[in-house]
Amino acid sequence: MPNTYLTPEDEQYYGRDLIDFTTRAATQAVAPYLQNLEQQNATLQRRLAREQRHRLDQQVTAAVPNWPEIDQNPRWHAWLSTVDPLSGCPRQRLLDDAIASGSAERCAAFFQSFMREQRDSRSTPAHSRPRPAQSSSNAAANQSDLRNEAKRCVERQGG
């Protein structure tokens, strides 16, 4: 609740009409200054956001120098569209959250996990990779469970 500077006695002594008039006159007098301050604030917020993103990019580059190339890779984007097995949330949503919070460590971890999975999948022949022993109906049920868990994750995060 905003501060109330006028007392009931003020209203009784000066009257509602005079108070309304002086309030409008004061608002008119300070409005240009307030508008200027709002514009300056918006400009500073945009500048700060750009600088924070630049710093985040520099920190991620220090940890993962080739991240811009990875970011152009369609397999990266496909990987981001999958659900993270530990959190049950879509990886893209988790990466977006890491970016929004300015966490270079978490951002770098996504790129590093992707590179590790890509390296592991290339170094292990497909026929020797462990496969879960499940029927196709179990696999479909697991996919459904993953989708439901991702949906719950989104709801928990307010999306």
Dihedral of alpha carbons 89, 92, 93, 94, sign: positive
pTM for the whole structure = 0.60
Give the pLDDT of residue 121: 86
Predicted confidence (pLDDT) at residue 20 exceeds the cutoff of 80: yes
- CA distance linking residue 90 with residue 83, whole number of Å: 4
Please indicate whether residue 106 or residue 159 has the higher confidence score (pLDDT): 106
- CA distance linking residue 152 with residue 90, whole number of Å: 11
Dihedral of alpha carbons 77, 107, 120, 127, sign: negative
Residue type, 55: R
Cα 128 to Cα 51, 88, 123, 124, 132: the distances in Å are 47, 27, 10, 7, 12
Could you tell me the pLDDT band of residue 27, with boundaries at 50, 70 and 90? very high
Please indicate whether residue 23 or residue 151 has the higher confidence score (pLDDT): 23
- CA distance linking residue 29 with residue 111, whole number of Å: 54
End-to-end CA distance of the chain: 29
DSSP code string of 50-117: HHHHHHHHHHHHHH-TTHHHHHT-HHHHHHHTSBPTTT-SBHHHHHHHHHHTT-HHHHHHHHHHHHHH
Could you tell me the pLDDT band of residue 117, with boundaries at 50, 70 and 90? very high
- Other CB atoms within a 10 A radius of the CB of residue 99 amount to 18
Predicted confidence (pLDDT) at residue 133 exceeds the cutoff of 50: no
Could you tell me the pLDDT band of residue 93, with boundaries at 50, 70 and 90? very high
- Overall average pLDDT of the 63-84 stretch: 96
- Overall average pLDDT of the 48-69 stretch: 96
Write phi, then psi, for 134 (nearest 5 degrees).
-150, 150
Percent with pLDDT over 70 in the chain: 76
- Overall average pLDDT of the 8-34 stretch: 95
Task: Quote the mean pLDDT of the chain.
Answer: 85
- Sketch the domain layout of the chain as residue ranges: 8-121
